Copies of this chain bind each other. A is one copy, B any other.
Amino acid sequence: MPARGWCDAMRLLIINPNTTASMTETVAIAARGVARQPDHVVAINPDTGPAAIQGAEDGARALPGLFAVFEREVLSGDHFDGVIIACFDDTGLWELRARSSVPVVGIGEAGYHAAALLGPRFSVVTTLAVSIPVLEENIRRYGFADRCARVRASGVPVLDIEGDEQRSRALIEAEVARAFGEDDVASVVLGCAGMANLADELTRRFNRPVIDGVSAAVGLCETLHRATSPLRS
């Protein structure tokens, strides 16, 4: 009988860089649903900063709060084995990674990596048009510019995803439909942490992969945790 696979417990910190606690909870549920050790998943958000991150200015304003959480939870105390930044803009990703001794993964980057592995090209469906330049710049930096057919805005503000749920779902679904119909893509990445709970349903609806960055990030973070496990032994 073969040995059981690797099962080193991983304490996972998810930081939602905006201050909307209900979104933090949505993300936590999505993450626990796929994690190897769901009860080792902790999700928090800063007390100060923007309630939603829409565009580069919001992202810049969210950094002080995000940095404070990171310093308190990760740098002081070493309580966690991996960090997920739960904003699709990957707010502060390069800075946290530079300061961290454990893996740090953004949910945007996680979504792109998963999509790039699923087929030649993918599209993104995000919230408002103001986020498009931010995401396109990230996609270029990560190297996926040729893999991404198009970043599309659904026109749904971040906080409407929960606040005006029915209308938001309809708009997001319509934009996903356009992406599959017009962009010749193998998958669509949902471009907001708050859309985490829509992915499975949309995947079934379109019978093609609609990717949630949160669960992708959990899988990637566990993969990196395993790859770096000898550093802890």
Contact indicator A113/B121 (Cβ below 8 Å): no
Task: Give min CB distance, A56 to chain B, whole Å.
Answer: 4
Q: Mark A197-210, 1 if CB is under 8 A from B, else 0.
A: 00111011001110
B224 touching A223 by the CB < 8 A rule? Answer: no
Given contacts A61-B99, A98-B56, A99-B61, contact A231 B209 (CB under 8 A): yes
Interface size on A, residues (CB 8 A): 80
Asked if B5 and A117 sit within 8 Å, CB to CB, the answer is: no
Q: Please give the distance in Å from A28's CB to the nearest CB on chain B.
A: 9
- From 201 to 233 in chain A, residues with beta carbon under 8 angstroms from any chain B beta carbon are 201, 203-204, 207-209, 211-212, 215-216, 219-220, 222-224, 226-231, 233
A226 to B144, CA, bound (A): 22
| Residue interface bits A129-168, CB-to-B below 8 A is 1, else 0 | 1101100010011111111000000000000000000000
Question: A60: which of B3, B6, B99, B208 is its contact (CB, 8 Å)?
Answer: B99
Kindly list chain B residues whose C-beta atoms are within 8 Å of the C-beta of A68: 64
Cα distance, A220 to B140, chains bound together (Å)? 22
Which single member of B1, B32, B226 contacts A39 (CB below 8 Å)? B1
Tell me the smallest distance from the CB of A162 to a CB of chain B, in Å: 21
Q: Are B223 and A219 in contact, with the CB atoms below 8 A?
A: yes
A14 at the interface (CB under 8 A from B): no
Q: Is the CB of A216 within 8 A of B227?
A: yes
